[in-house]
Structure 1
Amino acid sequence: MILHRRILSILAVAAGLVALWWATLVAFEIPPYLMPSPGSVFAAFWTDGWTLIVMAWTTVSSTVVGLLVAALCAAAMAVVFVQSHLVAQAAMPLLIVIRSTPVAAIAPLMMLMLGRGMGTSVFVVVLVSFFPILINVMRGLRSADAQSLELLRVYGASRWQMICMLRAPYALPYLFTGLRIAGGTAILGALLSEWITGNRGLGLLILDSAEMREIDVLWAAIIVSVIIALSLFALTSAAERAVLHWKT
């Protein structure tokens, strides 16, 4: 019943957006070469559907692999930083410098090192996703109950045992929060990498469609990108509910 309500809500929102789309075209008399009609975009989904699927699969693959690598690396580094304040103080300024460097400046360098394939896209996704996951996991590890930590120390628990038994469960909600935040930026990172490197994917399809003035295909690719980002957010939220429900 709840699932049916959610599906109906999604369909209602989609119908409202399409109606707003039509109303905007009519009210402001926007020419088709700037904003096509919903009908022409839906036709592009039909005629270029296979191309959209292939390109979307490449972008999704880079995004998912990059997010997983970023999550693993960020979680491991967060554990090290929480256990050693000296290491955290030494490494954090370097991480901030890397995070502050524009991705558009790093991506061409990575393209020279890794080539135009999936590796560059994955690296860019890791770069833009790593920091929010790291910060959130560190907050989660440090949020463990102080009295429980002291009790484990009294019973002679090692640092690794305290992480596994206490700190990690506290960090799980923060990990999923970091993944939700990083999901949207991960899609943008994958698209940006495809724009810069020319690697196939939705980013390249958007760029080529703009150059060829295929505005309906351009908008279809943008809509697919938005759907992917929303799907990542929804899947992360569903995984969080499943894991935390199991934990409790």
Structure 2
Amino acid sequence: MVYLLWILVVGLVDNPFVAKGPGDVAEYLITGDDAAQHRSEVMEQLMVTLRDAAIGFTAGMLAAILLAGAIVLSRGVESTVMPVAMILRAVPLIALAPVIRLIFGRGISTVAVMSGIVVLFPALVGIVFGLRSSSKQMHDVVQVYGGSERDVLFKVSFPSALPSLFAAIRISVPGAITGALIAEWLATGKGIGYAVVSAAGQSKNNEVWALVIVVTLVSLLLYTLAQVLETFVLARYGKDAGRA
């Protein structure tokens, strides 16, 4: 699918200087005289981007899980958190970047905030939906035996929300990479996000396409791994686990 889309884009642009095809990228990364050096440089940038994406993913998902639990326990928290989350989602990250950079600097904290913002809202909405979709009868059972609202949350709501949690994870994996690329471009000056902008400014179009294709393929691979993990976990711990 990626390959066909790639060919289509190259055909539509119809500009060999700007639009590079699979053969051009293969030469840049595999068959060319300097391919080994190019691969090393691309992998170095990719490792930085994956580290940044992991930081943003972890920050955004942890915040989403904690806030979702608090929202389910308290309507007051929901009325406070959701408008703020919606504002962060609605305002373009490019517009927020100068403020974030001013507050947190150009280091890991900025990456965590900027990439985490991309992850937070869709994950939060999905997890809250999952927590609230748990069986009311199971809530009553826990409370009849003296359980608190917190017991209901941990023993009923979170297990029932596993499908929604993994759906949020699948959405957040490519989202975290996108957030990392934006943070690298606008704040840190490292990783693929900055390398693409730098190469484009110098008309190094083979490098631009190689970087974009590599990060796209890695995003698809990570998304697939998240799907595999989801299938495994739900088969063992989901509500239908053990059923023939």
Pairwise TM-score range, normalised by the shorter structure: 0.7 to 0.9
1:100 aligns with 2:87: no
Q: Determine if the alignment matches structure 1 residue 79 to structure 2 residue 63.
A: no
Name 2:204's counterpart in structure 1: 214
Among residues 14, 17, 21, which one is paired with 2:4 in the alignment?
17
Aligned-residue RMSD, C-alpha: 2.1
The amino acid across from 1:209 in the alignment is A
Q: What 5-or-longer segments of structure 1 have no aligned partner?
A: 1-12
* 1:189 aligns to 2:176 (yes or no): no
Scaled by the length of structure 1, what TM-score is found? 0.86
Name the counterpart of 1:35. 19
Offset at residue 29 of structure 1 (A):
8.7
Counterparts in 2 of 1:1-248, with a 5 A limit?
A: 17=4, 21=7, 30-46=14-30, 47=35, 48-247=38-237, 248=241
Kept in 2, the 8 Å contact 1:111–1:197? The answer is yes
Residues in 1 aligned to 2:168 and 2:188: alpha-carbon distance in whole angstroms:
29
Q: What is the CA-CA distance between 1:112 and the residue it aligns to?
A: 2.4
User: Aligned partners of 2:168, 2:43: CA distance in 1, in Å?
Assistant: 28
Distance change (3 Å), C-alpha of 1:39 and 1:91: closer
Contact 2:181 2:193 in 1 (8 A): yes
Report percent identity of matched pairs.
28
1:83 Cα deviation from its structure 2 partner: 0.8
SS of 2:236's equivalent? helix
Cα displacement (A) at 1:196: 1.3
Paired residues in the alignment total: 232
Aligned equivalents of 2:133, 2:103: Cα separation in 1 = 40
For 1:186, the aligned partner's letter is A
Displacement after TM superposition at 1:216 (Å): 0.7
Higher mean alpha-carbon deviation, 203-212 vs 34-43, is at: 34-43
The CA distance in 2 between the partners of 1:37 and 1:128, in whole Å, is: 30
Aligned mates of 1:190, 1:205 — CA distance in 2: 13
SS of 1:35's equivalent?
A: coil
Code of the residue aligned with 2:106 in structure 1: it is: R
Q: TM-score scaled to structure 2, two decimals?
A: 0.87
Q: Which stretch of the first structure deviates more once superposed, 137-146 or 229-238?
A: 229-238
**Closer/same/farther in 2, CA of residues 153 and 185 from structure 1, 3 Å limit:** same
Cα distance between partner residues in 2 of 1:38 and 1:91:
46
| SS class of match (2:161) | helix
User: How has the CA–CA distance of structure 1 residues 145 and 28 changed in structure 2, closer, same or farther, with 3 Å as cutoff?
Assistant: closer
